[in-house]
């Protein structure tokens, strides 16, 4: 196993979300390939992190947010699982990114993106917006960004039932290992 885990960010603060289920599935895929993986759930951030910790230095005011920042700082590779919210990504993800020491935390690091959407674009606008931000922060974005479209319910089985999606997830995971 690689000694540096890939950090998978479930990019919403909704509890029991499809985003979270897919993040954990992705971690399991990596672990089956003998790669360490951790999941960072934005749903586990304190509800008041924007007012209690967002721009504070260290972990003094909000330990939970401080621990999430530390995970982000220590990771060298990330996978962002991102639901489509009104043709972009969730505001909580943007607030979280803004609260991290940027661009220092992201500069020179690597990430992959997976979009989930009920619509036919699969979150492509959301991933485009996020890619622009990560390029600005000088992070390397893996070229195979996945857009999983027409997800009509909140069950992971819906995604996994599509052989094209499972193949693409496997391909991206393998690519991230070697990226």
Q: How does pLDDT run across 112-139, given as a tens digit for each residue?
A: 999 999 888 888 999 999 999 999 999 9
The per-residue DSSP string of 53-97 comes to TTT-STTSS-HHHHHHHHHHHH-SEEEEEEE-BTTB--HHHHHHH
Per the CB < 8 A criterion, the answer to whether 73 and 101 are in contact is: yes
Q: What percent of the chain has pLDDT over 70?
A: 93
Per the CB < 8 A criterion, the answer to whether 4 and 75 are in contact is: yes
- Please report how many Cα atoms fall inside a 13 Å half-sphere around the Cα of residue 62, on the Cβ side: 20
Q: How does pLDDT run across 141-170, given as a tens digit for each residue?
A: 999 999 999 887 778 998 899 999 999 999
> Tokens 């969730």 — which residue?
90
Q: How does pLDDT run across 1-36, given as a tens digit for each residue?
A: 457 899 999 999 998 899 999 999 999 999 999 999
Q: Which CATH class is domain 6-178?
A: alpha beta
């Amino acid at each position: 196993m690689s000694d540096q885990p890939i950090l998978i960010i479930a990019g919403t603060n909704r509890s029991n979300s499809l985003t979270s289920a897919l993040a954990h599935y992705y971690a399991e895929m990596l672990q089956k390939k003998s790669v360490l993986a951790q999941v960072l759930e934005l749903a586990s951030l304190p509800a008041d992190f924007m007012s209690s910790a967002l721009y504070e230095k260290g972990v003094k005011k909000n330990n939970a947010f401080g621990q999430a920042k530390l995970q982000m700082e220590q990771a060298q590779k990330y996978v962002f699982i991102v639901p489509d919210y009104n043709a972009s990504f969730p505001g909580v993800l943007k607030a979280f990114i803004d609260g991290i020491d940027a661009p220092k935390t992201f500069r020179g690091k690597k990430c992959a993106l997976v979009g989930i959407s009920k619509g036919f674009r699969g979150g492509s606008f959301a991933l485009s917006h996020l890619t622009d931000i990560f390029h600005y922060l000088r992070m390397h974005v893996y070229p195979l960004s996945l857009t999983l479209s027409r997800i009509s319910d909140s069950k992971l089985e819906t995604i996994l039932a599509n052989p094209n999606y499972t193949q693409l997830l496997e391909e991206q995971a393998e690519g991230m290992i070697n990226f």
